[in-house]
Structure 1
Amino acid sequence: MENRNRFAFGKKNYLIMFAGIIVLALGFIIMSLDKEQYGLGFMGITLGPIVVLIGFAIEFMAIFYKDKTNA
């Protein structure tokens, strides 16, 4: 009988996912802190969305990360 890992991801994957969630939340917080009307300032239009995209990239990397020790 094969001893397989029951989880889809390893510990490092979940840590990277958690970091991505933090970055995503930070991006949305940055967008909400914009003081311009309707959020049309630099933070709401440029900085916040860039941070959110970085967060999604981190989540994407967490899904496809393969630990070398478990191979």
Structure 2
Amino acid sequence: MTEEPKDQFAFTRINYLILAVGLALIIIGFLLMIGGGSDDPNVFNYEVFSPRRITVAPIVALVGYAVVFYAIMKKGD
């Protein structure tokens, strides 16, 4: 007699927690990119090229995407 597999979700609770952390990192990365623009089109604001916007924010967002990928690929118990 074979045992029928019971219905299970593809993700476990841990997967969902890791996924939430990854999504939070992506959101934080995009929030760090906000700003630096100028209301006057004739005035250039050098704040657009701040290290926070061109280095830190994309790295945080990419780490978030990597965490989401890990959460999807992690095998549930």
Indicate the residue corresponding to 2:7 in structure 1.
4
Rg bigger for which structure?
2
Identify which of structures 1 and 2 has the higher relative contact order when contacts are C-alpha pairs closer than 8 Å and 6+ apart: 2
Percentage identity across aligned positions? 34
Structure showing the higher helix proportion among its residues = 1
Normalised by the length of structure 2, the TM-score is 0.74
The list of structure 1 runs, each at least 4 consecutive aligned residues, that deviate by more than 2 angstroms after superposition, is 33-39
Gaps of 5+ in 1: none
Give the length in aligned residue pairs: 67
Normalised by the length of structure 1, the TM-score is 0.79
Q: CA-atom RMSD, angstroms? A: 2.0
Gaps of 5+ in 2: 38-44
